[in-house]
Copies of this chain bind each other. A is one copy, B any other.
Amino acid sequence: MIASASPLIPITSVLPQPLPSVLALTKIEISLGGGRYQNCLKEIRSRACDVEDTEKGIKIEKKDWQKLHLHIASFNNFPTAAGLASSAAGFACLVFSLAKLMNLKENQSQLSAIARQGSGSACRSLFGGFVKWILGKEGNGSDSLAVQLVDEEHWNDLVIIIAVVSSRQKETSSTTGMRESVETSLLLQHRAKEVVPKRIVQMEEAIQNHDFSSFAQLTCADSNQFHAVCLDTSPPIFYMNDTSHRIISYVERWNRSVGSPQVAYTFDAGPNAVLIARNRKIATELLQRLLFFFPPNSETDLNSYVLGDKSILHDAGIDGMKDIEALPLPPEINSISAQKYSGDVNYFICTRPGGGPVLLSDDSKALLNPKSGLPKEA
């Protein structure tokens, strides 16, 4: 979970914990020739240090790294290209792994500045818990990096449910979109100068104090303002669709009916809703509501419709389609407007604010065969 000082993204974004693997493995070789990879690799190589592991009989001197080649294998068990920042997670992991391998002396924040050159958002993924992306002042971006505000244990009541929304049309790439917003939106400058700096201060305070009402108010308002700036871009950028709008309306109505925020929503560069429930009980009620409005298609298996922490499904008393059909109309919803939208959500992910990258000590989990240096067979 992160709080960002960039006006080009919502103040709150979420990089959830790795999921139990549910997707088929596709092993493909990709080129690292692109500028984004080369930037990262160059920065890391120039900071490589001596490495010595007497146990394994490894000794590499700093100057030798220039001559060595690497095999890199990467596995992502989170949906890719779904607008859920999977590439940011990938770049953070790449930079972290290489820094460990080459014995870099830089701390996590300094590494985050390197990861940022692969993908802006990647700087935020070097830490767990709540992370702040400091934009920095240098023209070359060298002091644009992330710091951890609090770790994932600080506010462990929060539960996250992500609605991966079906989209009928292609999305704008988030990088293209940002450039066009900077060039054409007349509201962006005001957002950058007047709105975001104040909100960042308020957000840090809300996080420190476990103040969910302020946290939710800031998160929702800032997500909406980010998308407002996208709309104010020429040509306008629409990341959210009718399903996104409906989810916002349901959450807003529920929060109003209770009298204080129970759930916050935020949308990155895509139609997927990231919903943050104030605690597990509320998350259970949220999942019931979501499944009421967005039941799976008759051909969809519930097990592939609610991913991640399935215990919330259990708490919600839902074991099968029959339980979903029996869900009651949420009390805050007028029965006249209680339409159901089966098929408009692809699947839900239940998760929580997670930890940062971790060096695995268990060799059996390595993706490369230690003898051949090639990817292990599945």
CB within 8 A of A225: which of B186, B224, B256? B186
Contact status A248-B224, CB under 8 Å: no
* Per-residue interface assignment for chain A, residues 232 to 247, with 1 indicating a CB less than 8 Å from any chain B CB and 0 otherwise: 1111101001100110
How far is A224 from B129 in the complex, measured between Cα atoms in Å? 36
Chain B residues with CB below 8 A from A184, complex form: 221
Cβ of A168: which chain B residues have Cβ within 8 Å of it? Answer: 242, 339
Q: How many chain copies does the complex carry?
A: 2
Band of interface residues on A: 35 or more
With beta carbons under 8 angstroms apart, the residue of B194, B220, B232, B234 that contacts A186 is: B194
CB-nearest residue of chain B to A223: B236
A178-195 with Cβ < 8 A to chain B:
184, 186-187, 190-191, 194-195
Task: Assess the A234–B220 pair: CB atoms within 8 A.
Answer: yes
Q: Is the CB of A246 within 8 A of B191?
A: no
**Complex-state Cα separation, A169 to B246, whole angstroms:** 9
Contact of A337 among B169, B186, B231, B238 (CB under 8 A): B169
* A:186-222 near B, CB below 8 Å: 186-187, 190-191, 194-195, 217, 220-221
- Cα A245 to Cα B238 in complex, Å, equals 7
A227 an interface residue at 8 Å Cβ cutoff? yes
- Taking the closest CB of chain B, its distance from the CB of A170, in whole angstroms, is 7
A223 to chain B, nearest CB (A): 9
Is A228 interfacial (CB-CB < 8 Å)? yes
Name which of A194, A236, A248, A339 has the most chain B CB atoms within 10 A of its CB. Answer: A236
Given A169-B246, A169-B337, A236-B248, decide whether A187 and B241 contact each other with a Cβ distance below 8 A. Answer: no
Answer whether residue A252 sits at the interface, using C-beta atoms and an 8 A cutoff: yes
Q: How far is the CB of A249 from chain B (nearest CB, A)?
A: 8
Q: Would B337 and A170 count as touching, CB distance under 8 A?
A: yes
Interface on A for B, CB 8 Å cutoff? Answer: 168-170, 184, 186-187, 190-191, 194-195, 217, 220-221, 224-225, 227-229, 231-236, 238, 241-242, 245-246, 248-249, 252, 256, 337, 339
CB-defined A-B contacts under 8 Å, sample of 14: A169-B249, A186-B225, A187-B187, A187-B195, A187-B225, A190-B190, A220-B234, A224-B232, A225-B231, A227-B231, A235-B249, A235-B256, A241-B242, A242-B242
